[in-house]
């Protein structure tokens, strides 16, 4: 299971850049470094050396190189890093030389995988590293950093401890039947298992995790010409959508990504909602309706300088149960609509920019708390929900007066499922100690 070969890969992003770093990990790291870099060095650990990468008499690049001797390295193996000039050529030629010298090209994530296999980080931290690399926005990065700090591990460990204490409670009932009856123990087990199941479910916030990771979906909608595309451009601070005074300008859904308070928000501009005869526009309207249905927040836009039309009233009805913000646009013009007639509307002008900052704050509020639940990884949430289901099965078994063993099997299963989140096994000895006592009672 422990890797014994030596892997190498470009550790920095490919393409143009100040420097490119080639990373090597494995038992041959030092030998490869010595073979490639001249002049010869003593290769003291954790020390940068200046030299040239030379292979078969050809100088590939001028470089800096460092050796991290095991176990004080990222993977806990010997690791070498060669810092080259940016751009692909130098790094590629150094990598080819390393392959010829016997190193293997690393698989995606393989350095971090080795860090896990060698016990430097647990599984949830390994995933956090991956997350941090691909984090978009401060919110997602914060969730990843918290996980990297071991927030997930700590949370799971506490849950495992609570489970173990439930199990020892059941064991006590078997060992000392004169002190605690099985009915009492079952009642306690049932309450404890349900409480822990609720706690695990509460730690999963799929919607929040999706928003932190992929951004909040905000959709602009309204009848033609109210100024949806103008609002998209104002929010995105660029001319993303075409604006004209011709009703029915926008047909396709147009998206722009913006950052509001560290939260990524994907704003979609849609076709003006009306019953048209133009077949293209009809398709646009049906796409608009789909976008509205999938939105985290609907921005229902109205032109405050015009009386409400039937289409406006229809939109107010259609979105009344959706998470929405009523936007009264064109406030730079003489008002016909009165803000008091609407449910806390945002009064704005896409042309002068008035009210746009306040509207942004209200949009961001729909993403409040996103990514701040204990678990944010899809895999973790799936396992936590699975463990919660096993706990509920145990509680149901207790409530139904089933034999002890049934509830215990479910609890054991929950424990195993939680262990898969961090990838480490619960202390086997402790488990043996607890479960051996159940046999006695049989
Ligand atoms: N004075 C003023 N004019 C605006 C404002 N917002 C939009 N307009 C004008 O209203 C007209 C329609 O704007 P658009 O942004 O194209 O409207 P839309 O809702 O996207 O229209 P469709 O794509 O046809 O559904 C354009 O002439 C804009 O310049 C505003 O806040 N104030
Ligand atoms: Mg438009």
Q: Is 286 in the pocket of ligand 1 (CB under 6 A)?
A: no
- Domain segments of the chain as ranges: 7-120, 151-200+375-441, 211-365
Q: How many residues does the chain have?
A: 442
* Distance, CA of 156 to chain centre: 18
Place of tokens 């300008």: 249
CA dihedral 417, 418, 422, 425 (to 10 degrees): -70
Which residues does 175 contact at the CB level (< 8 Å), separation at least 6? 437, 440, 441
Can the peptide bond before residue 291 be classed as cis, meaning omega within 30 degrees of 0?
Answer: no
Of 211, 208, 126, 204, give the one whose Cα is nearest residue 418: 204
Return d(Cα 254, Cα 383) in angstroms, integer. Answer: 37
Q: Output the CA 258–ligand 2 centroid distance in Å.
A: 18
Q: Output the CA 288–ligand 2 centroid distance in Å.
A: 11
Nearest CA, atom 7, ligand 1: 227
Burial class (CB in 10 A: 0-12, 13-18, 19+), 133: exposed
Burial class (CB in 10 A: 0-12, 13-18, 19+), 165: exposed
List the structure tokens of 188: 């306690």
On whether the CB atoms of residues 189 and 394 are closer than 8 A, the answer is yes
On whether the CB atoms of residues 397 and 408 are closer than 8 A, the answer is no
- Which among 243, 312, 359 is the best mutation to test ligand 1's pocket, defined by most ligand atoms within 8 Å of the CB? 243
Q: Output the CA 61–ligand 1 centroid distance in Å.
A: 57
Q: Please tell me the predicted confidence (pLDDT) of residue 434.
A: 43
Q: How many CA atoms lie within 13 A of 247 on its CB side?
A: 13
- Architecture of the domain delimited by 211-365: 3-Layer(aba) Sandwich (3.40)
Q: Is the pTM of this model over 0.75?
A: no
Return d(Cα 229, Cα 249) in angstroms, integer. Answer: 9
Ligand nearest 221 Cα, by number? 1
Q: Please tell me the predicted confidence (pLDDT) of residue 2.
A: 55
On whether the CB atoms of residues 270 and 288 are closer than 8 A, the answer is yes
Mean pLDDT by 10 residues, the chain (442 residues): 79 82 95 92 91 92 95 94 88 91 83 81 73 66 70 86 87 75 86 96 88 89 95 92 88 89 90 82 84 91 96 92 95 95 96 96 90 81 93 94 83 89 58 40 25
Q: Please tell me the predicted confidence (pLDDT) of residue 149.
A: 67
Q: Output the CA 304–ligand 1 centroid distance in Å.
A: 12
List the structure tokens of 289: 């309706």
List the structure tokens of 109: 């994530």
Return d(Cα 240, Cα 255) in angstroms, integer. Answer: 8
Ligand nearest 301 Cα, by number? 1
Number of the ligand 1 atom closest to the C-alpha atom of 333:
1
Number of the ligand 1 atom closest to the C-alpha atom of 248:
24
- Which among 222, 226, 227, 355 is the best mutation to test ligand 1's pocket, defined by most ligand atoms within 8 Å of the CB? 227
- Which among 245, 350, 354 is the best mutation to test ligand 1's pocket, defined by most ligand atoms within 8 Å of the CB? 350
Number of the ligand 1 atom closest to the C-alpha atom of 242:
16
Q: Please tell me the predicted confidence (pLDDT) of residue 275.
A: 82
Can the peptide bond before residue 377 be classed as cis, meaning omega within 30 degrees of 0?
Answer: no
Return d(Cα 400, Cα 408) in angstroms, integer. Answer: 14
Return d(Cα 160, Cα 152) in angstroms, integer. Answer: 12
- Which among 230, 235, 236, 347 is the best mutation to test ligand 1's pocket, defined by most ligand atoms within 8 Å of the CB? 230
The CATH number of 7-120 is 3.30.1360.120
Domain 151-200+375-441 has CATH 1.20.120.430: yes
Nearest CA, atom 16, ligand 1: 243
Burial class (CB in 10 A: 0-12, 13-18, 19+), 88: middle
Of 93, 83, 98, give the one whose Cα is nearest residue 20: 83
Which is it for the CA torsion 352, 357, 359, 360, positive or negative?
positive
């Amino acid at each position: 299971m422990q890797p014994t070969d030596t892997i190498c890969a470009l550790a920095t992003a490919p393409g143009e850049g100040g420097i490119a770093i080639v990373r090597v990990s494995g038992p041959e790291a030092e030998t490869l470094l010595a073979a490639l870099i001249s002049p010869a060095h003593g290769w003291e650990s954790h020390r940068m050396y200046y030299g040239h990468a030379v292979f078969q008499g050809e100088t590939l690049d001028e470089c800096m190189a460092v050796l991290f001797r095991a176990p004080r390295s990222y993977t806990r193996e010997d690791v070498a890093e060669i810092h080259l000039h940016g751009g692909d050529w130098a790094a590629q030629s150094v990598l080819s030389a390393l392959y010829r010298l016997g190193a293997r090209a690393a698989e995606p994530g393989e350095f971090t995988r080795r860090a896990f296999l060698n016990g430097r980080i647990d599984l949830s931290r390994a995933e956090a590293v991956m997350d941090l690399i691909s984090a978009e926005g401060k919110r997602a990065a914060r969730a990843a950093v918290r996980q990297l700090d071991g927030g997930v591990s700590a949370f799971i460990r506490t849950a495992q401890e609570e489970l173990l204490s439930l199990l020892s409670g059941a064991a006590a009932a078997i060992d000392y039947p004169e002190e605690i009856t099985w009915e009492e123990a079952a009642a306690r087990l049932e309450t404890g298992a349900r409480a822990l199941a609720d706690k695990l479910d509460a730690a999963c916030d799929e919607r929040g995790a999706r928003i932190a990771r992929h951004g909040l979906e905000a959709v602009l909608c309204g009848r033609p010409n109210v100024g949806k595309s103008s609002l998209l451009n104002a929010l995105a601070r660029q001319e993303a959508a075409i604006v004209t005074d011709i009703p029915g300008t926008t047909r396709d859904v147009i998206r722009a990504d913006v950052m509001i308070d560290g939260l990524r928000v994907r704003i979609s501009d849609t076709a003006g909602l009306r019953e048209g005869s133009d077949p293209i526009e009809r398709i646009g309207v049906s796409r608009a309706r789909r976008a509205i249905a999938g939105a985290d927040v609907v921005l229902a836009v109205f032109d405050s300088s015009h009386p409400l039309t039937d289409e406006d009233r229809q939109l107010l009805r259609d979105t009344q149960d959706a998470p929405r913000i009523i936007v009264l646009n064109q406030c730079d013009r003489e008002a016909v609509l009165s803000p008091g007639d609407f449910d806390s509307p945002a009064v704005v002008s896409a042309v002068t920019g008035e009210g746009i900052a306040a509207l942004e704050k209200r949009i961001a509020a729909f993403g409040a708390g996103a990514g701040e639940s204990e678990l944010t990884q899809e895999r973790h949430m799936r396992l936590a929900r699975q463990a919660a289901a096993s706990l509920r099965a145990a509680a149901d078994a207790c409530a139904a007066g089933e034999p002890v063993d049934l509830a215990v099997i479910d609890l054991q299963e929950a424990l195993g499922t939680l262990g898969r989140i961090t990838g480490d096994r619960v202390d086997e000895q402790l488990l043996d100690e607890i479960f051996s006592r159940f046999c006695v009672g049989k």
